[in-house]
């Protein structure tokens, strides 16, 4: 199975990506991690990416698509993979579709974790963590048992907040996300590929809803799914 998982900052996409990838025993692929691995490999493409990143520029879509195409051709992706936060543009979506077609494969699921912007702002702006052990907390949802003392390691007065987790900066990140992903969602909606999941639910419920989408599609397609050249939700 080949899955694209999308969702705004703070909606829990990373957590759900790990859970789904583990449940279905497929690799979780994120471009950030792939960039780091490619740079570390020292191959020609890795050197090219390193030069671009070190110059402070964004990696062009054609290079990102080439990197994705190389990665999904590896043996561990033979039974499927989950793309975490990719594609981000229509150009990347088209590039992914082309790469899959050249491999005789097709995208099975595009799952959008949806969430209300104001609730996300409240969720993200309320986050803080222990600087000693990185244990995460929240002003509303997960307070330490004893004020200013970490439940996990016992450190006192070690709580910190990310500088970009202010309501104003979170709103900017959400605006950028919506601006970038709206065309991608429209692209996939036109192909009737997108399923939406409420990301403001309990973490386990979100996982269950995503799994239900995947399992229903597999059951509907039956044993022919593996050979299907054009599966749909």
Catalytic residue positions, numbered: 13, 88, 127, 162, 173
User: Quick one: which H or E segment has residue 213?
Assistant: helix 203-221
> CA 195, CA 178: separation in Å to the nearest integer?
17
Give the pairing of strands 2-6 and 81-84: parallel
Between the alpha carbon of residue 85 and those of residues 44, 123, 169, 187, 232, the distances in Å are: 25, 20, 20, 15, 20
Give the number of other Cβ atoms within 10 Å of residue 144's Cβ. 15
Tokens for 202, please give them: 């309990």
Q: In this structure, are residues 196 and 157 in contact, taking their beta carbons and an 8 Å threshold?
A: no
> CA 139, CA 124: separation in Å to the nearest integer?
10
Tokens for 50, please give them: 């390193």
Tokens 């789904």 belong to 20
> CA 211, CA 127: separation in Å to the nearest integer?
27
> CA 111, CA 187: separation in Å to the nearest integer?
13
SS3 131: coil
What phi and psi values does residue 129 have, to the nearest 5 degrees? -145, 165
């Amino acid at each position: 199975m080949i899955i694209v998982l999308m969702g705004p900052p703070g909606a829990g996409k990373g957590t759900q990506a790990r859970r789904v990838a583990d449940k279905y025993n497929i690799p979780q692929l994120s471009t950030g991690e792939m960039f780091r691995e490619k740079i570390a490999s020292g191959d020609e493409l890795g050197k090219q990416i390193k030069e671009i990143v070190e110059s402070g520029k964004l990696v062009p879509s054609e290079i990102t698509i080439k990197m994705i195409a190389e990665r999904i051709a590896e043996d561990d992706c033979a039974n499927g993979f989950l793309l975490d936060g990719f594609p981000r543009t229509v150009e990347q979506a088209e590039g992914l579709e082309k790469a899959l077609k050249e491999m005789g494969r097709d995208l099975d699921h595009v799952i959008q974790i949806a969430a209300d912007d104001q609730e996300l702002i409240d969720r993200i702006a309320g986050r803080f963590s222990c600087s000693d052990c990185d244990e995460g907390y929240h002003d509303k949802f997960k307070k330490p048992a004893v004020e200013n003392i970490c439940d996990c390691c016992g450190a006192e007065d070690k709580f910190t907040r990310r500088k970009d987790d202010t309501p104003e900066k979170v709103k900017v990140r959400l605006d950028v996300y919506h601006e970038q992903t709206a065309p991608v969602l429209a692209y996939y909606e036109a192909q009737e590929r997108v399923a939406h999941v409420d990301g403001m639910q309990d973490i386990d419920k979100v996982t269950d809803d995503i799994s239900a989408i995947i399992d229903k599609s597999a059951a509907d397609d039956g044993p022919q799914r593996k050979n299907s050249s054009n599966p749909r939700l």
